Amino acid sequence: MEKFQKLDAVAVPIATPNVDTDQIVPARFLRKPRSGGYGGFLFHDLRFDDAGAEKPGFVLSEPAYRGARIVVADKNFGCGSSREHAVYALWDYGFRAVIAPSFGDIFFNNCFKNGLLPIVLPAEQVAALQAELAQRPGAHVRV
């Protein structure tokens, strides 16, 4: 597990509440071996069309957010089933921290087990950070 004291990196705003683990990594990919990595499956149905091409308009498809290592999410991020693979997908994609007003309980604990830092901040602070990131794509956040 990769340790860090601080992280200064591009942050991506995902301003949708109640993003569940099935949105983070769809169930049909759960049988894939971990050794191959889950990063390519991250937000698969939101990022890609049926032909496998990136959907324009999804935030991770925007060049300014490529290589982002911090997610700034909305409330209840990672809710739903207890799918540890959701954390694998975020980690394997390159994320090391997720900032949100709240998290699904099991997802929150799975983050710690797998080296992904979940950070809880007040909803107003998260909304302000998301707004700034939307106005300045590619901006860095330090945690």
Number of domains in the chain: 1
Mean pLDDT over the full length of the chain: 93
Q: Under 8 Å CB-to-CB from 31, ≥6 apart: which residues?
A: none
Give the tens place of pLDDT for each residue, 80-117: 887 899 999 999 999 999 999 999 999 999 999 999 99
What are the angstrom distances between the C-alpha of 66 and each of 27, 75, 122?
Answer: 24, 23, 26
Give the per-residue pLDDT at 5. Answer: 82
Give the tens place of pLDDT for each residue, 134-143: 999 999 999 9
Give the C-alpha separation, 50 to 56, whole Å.
13
Confidence of residue 1 (pLDDT cuts 50, 70, 90): low
Residue 2 lies in a domain: no
Q: Does residue 34 register a pLDDT over 80?
A: no
Residue 106 lies in a domain: yes
Q: Which residue range is the domain that position 138 belongs to?
A: 8-142
Give the C-alpha separation, 81 to 138, whole Å.
31
Q: Does residue 64 register a pLDDT over 70?
A: yes
Helix or strand or coil: residue 11? strand
**CATH code: domain of residue 115:** 3.20.19.10
